[in-house]
């Protein structure tokens, strides 16, 4: 792909990559292996105190993704499909009744 780009564009791209690399916010791992997410990143992603993040390793890099309600529901649905063999109808009333019966012995 780069063979088709003019030489000036390639040099600008290389400069931009170097600039982004050196201007990226950094964080430090503490004794308890905790890291602080830089303010610019928190604000850009709308991360607030108490939000949950998914942490994974890809190609030798640590990837942290905010868990959003819709994303969580999609993941839950995918897990259900994978382990239960497809979507299932859930009778919530029956589940509550069975739970009450187990806990109290009466219903």
Q: What is the Cα–Cα distance from 15 to 9, expressed in whole angstroms?
A: 10
In terms of Cβ atoms closer than 10 Å to its own Cβ (0-12, 13-18, 19+), residue 66 is: middle
Q: Go through the domains of the chain in sequence order and give each one's CATH number.
A: 27-104 (2.10.260.10)
Does the pTM of the predicted model rise above 0.85?
Answer: no
CB 64 within 8 A of CB 80: no
Tens of pLDDT, residue by residue over 9-44, are 555 556 666 655 667 788 899 999 999 998 888 888
Tens of pLDDT, residue by residue over 42-89, are 888 888 998 888 899 999 999 998 887 777 777 777 777 777 776 666
Count of all residues that appear for the chain in the document? 107
């Amino acid at each position: 792909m780069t063979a088709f780009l003019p030489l000036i564009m390639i040099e600008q791209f290389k400069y931009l990559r170097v600039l982004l690399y050196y201007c990226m916010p950094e964080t430090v791992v503490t004794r308890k292996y905790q890291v602080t997410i830089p303010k610019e990143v928190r604000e850009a992603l709308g991360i607030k105190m108490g939000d949950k993040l998914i942490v994974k390793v890809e190609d030798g890099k640590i990837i942290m993704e905010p868990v959003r309600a819709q994303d969580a529901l999609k993941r839950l649905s995918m897990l259900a499909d994978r382990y239960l063999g497809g979507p299932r109808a859930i009778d919530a009333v029956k589940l509550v009744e069975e739970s009450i019966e187990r806990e109290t012995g009466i219903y």
